[in-house]
Amino acid sequence: MLPLLTTHNLSYHTQERLLLDNITLTLHFGQKISLMGRSGSGKSLLLQALADLLPLDNANKIMLNKNGKLIPISQISATDYRSVVALFHQSPNLSDGTVLENLHAPFAFKHHRHHSFDKAWHLEKLDKLGKTDKFLAQPIHELSGGERQIVNFLRTLQFNPTIALFDETTSALDQDTAHNLIQLVLDWHNKNKALIWVTHNPDEQHLLKAESWHIEHGVLTF
Ligand SMILES: Nc1ncnc2c1ncn2[C@@H]1O[C@H](COP(=O)(O)OP(=O)(O)OP(=O)(O)O)[C@@H](O)[C@H]1O
Ligand SMILES: [Mg+2]
């Protein structure tokens, strides 16, 4: 079966430094990857590159499976690409307003125009993360770091991406809530989806039953 996504010799550099060094990877349908590496090794940059959020010299180095064919992403509209590949940012930008308003906010984007907001879906997930409907009315500026991560997680997961790129999604959560969130990720995942999970916590790799990739100084090893 053709893979879901590939990169071939993908690099990213500034004038001074090579930050991603000739990364060639294959992400298969159903695959779960845990990506580890020291702070500053390039984990977030790699996820940003895969999410088409870095100005790469040659974006054709990323190919995405579209209707059973591998297509260079330069031939895929940003709208289409973002509806398939979702980045769960390490430092999410939440706007002023309430939790509910922030969960609603992405519906303003064109690539989400085919979805409609499902409050019951959010309440069910929030319940599993120890939150009631009162949480929806809370102003963002009053949230703790972990609560902001919960909002960021649900805001992106609600669009049911095919490839999910999680960047330290549980780093500010207590252990129980982190484990419950990972269970929600496992509920979302199936044989047609793939995920990359960036973490500094080896326990999370075990919980996800994920394969291990490692990055050091921008060099990816499997
Ligand atoms: N926009 C940028 N311009 C220049 N250098 C950058 C940029 N973004 C990141 N870097 C550098 O690239 C390296 C990799 O950064 P990255 O954010 O990918 O690290 P990381 O592995 O995610 O680390 P952490 O575990 O701390 O989140 C770092 O040394 C960082 O300073
Ligand atoms: Mg990072």
For ligand 1, atom 13, the nearest C-alpha belongs to 40
Q: Among 17, 19, 88, 204, which is best to mutate for testing ligand 1, by the most ligand atoms less than 8 A from CB?
A: 19
CA distance 208 to 202: 10
98 near 136, Cβ under 8 Å?
yes
Identify whether the C-beta of residue 183 lies closer than 8 Å to the C-beta of residue 107: no
pLDDT-wise least confident of 25-29, 92-96, 214-218: 92-96
Ligand 1: atom nearest CA of 40 is: 19
Between 187 and 107, name the one with better pLDDT. Answer: 187
For the cut 90, the answer to whether the pLDDT of residue 153 exceeds it is: yes
How confident is the model over 186-205, as a mean pLDDT?
97
Per-residue pLDDT averaged across 205-212, rounded? 98
Residues with CB under 5 A from ligand 2 (ion): 43-44, 90
Per-residue pLDDT band at 108 (split at 50, 70, 90): confident
Kindly report the average pLDDT of the chain as a whole number: 95
What pLDDT, on a 0 to 100 scale, did the predictor assign at position 77?
A: 93
Task: Place 59 in a pLDDT band, splitting at 50, 70 and 90.
Answer: low
